[in-house]
Chains A and B, each alone.
Chain A
């Protein structure tokens, strides 16, 4: 019975700490997004991009982020594996990861006018051959070309 008690305590604690951390992270992300709303402008689509103005600097900017769910989230998700359905506990993690990665990229490109050709990718940094022992995580990299006018 000690196992069960321990499990319940760990689940309760990780649920509380996890939701506090997530709430704070979202608040921080919102604040930074609002602060960065004007510059630099990101462009996701164009493969070719033309301008008449003189360009001072072209630079690769990247933003990376690795986020893991807490014990409670992973637990619920693995239970969900039985019945299927949306892994709602992981959705917020993916969202946090993506926004964080884009924010970091934009923060790196402060001063530039445009970031063109932005791409977002998710990567596995897990041990794919031993999924039982690897940490469930969400690694996201956002990259683009920052362009500064003269």
Chain B
């Protein structure tokens, strides 16, 4: 009888210890696991991006001009400016444009680079895939200095000369195909991979902007012999914007401070 009691007591202790240390639940740290998984996915995305970049720039740099024009016209079907009236600012810009085009062989015979004004307040300018350049009303009202306008125009033409629009497009197509194969339609994986892809796309965009700035800087030096105008312009922008520096990592453009530094270094 005593033995039975002892056995029961032992069994009880055994049960208690089973309850206390659970072998069925892994003891790994969930956060650590999450970070490792993210790192793995980021690594795969990184390799895919390198692949897409090499593939894209290999073919696009060797693309003949005719093909480029064909693609551009196909993509810019329907781009029509809302304002057609030409004012003095536009005429001034067109004169500068003709000077810049004479400097670079890459820009000749391709597009006529029409320039239009769009009625928006913010300071911005952009180039459409077929070479149409848009200036906002904000920038035309704010900036009267010819050197600055030349810098902005050369920056946009630099994007076109580097075929940045085609590179961005090819990269996006390759990446979206590869990544959708990779995530195979799972929502959560799509979300993660998409976020990584967005951040990476922004980095790429900032790289393109820096290249365009370099190009514009070179052009301004060839035209005027210095880049005082551009430096002044960026200083003005810097005073205007109050965004903290780290936000550039979520932006398509490098921070104004960095762009200013880049231009000042290049002189």
Contacts and interface: CB of A to CB of B under 8 A. Distances in A.
Interface of A: 1, 3-4, 7, 15, 19, 30, 33-34, 37-38, 72-76, 78-83, 86, 88-89, 91-92, 94-95, 132
A67 B78 CA distance: 54
B31 interface: yes
B19 interface: yes
Given A92-B25, A95-B24, A3 B37 contact: no
Given A3-B195, A34-B19, A95-B25, A88 B33 contact: yes
B199 to A, nearest CB: 8
Interface of B: 12, 15-16, 19-20, 22, 24-26, 28, 30-31, 33-34, 37-38, 40-41, 182, 185-189, 191-192, 194-195, 198-199, 250
A95 B199 CA distance: 38
B19 A30 contact: yes
Contacts of B199: 4
Contacts, number: 73
A16 to B, nearest CB: 11
Contacts of A1: 198, 250
B187 A95 contact: no
Contacts of B31: 15
Chain A contact surface mostly: helix
B16 A78 contact: no
Contact of A7 (B26, B33, B195): B195
A82 B189 contact: yes
A15 B41 contact: no
B190 to A, nearest CB: 10
Contacts of B26: 86, 88, 91-92
B33 A89 contact: yes
Contacts of B186: 78, 81
Contact of B22 (A34, A83, A86, A95): A95
A34 B24 CA distance: 18
Contact of A76 (B20, B24, B37, B40): B37
A73 B19 contact: no
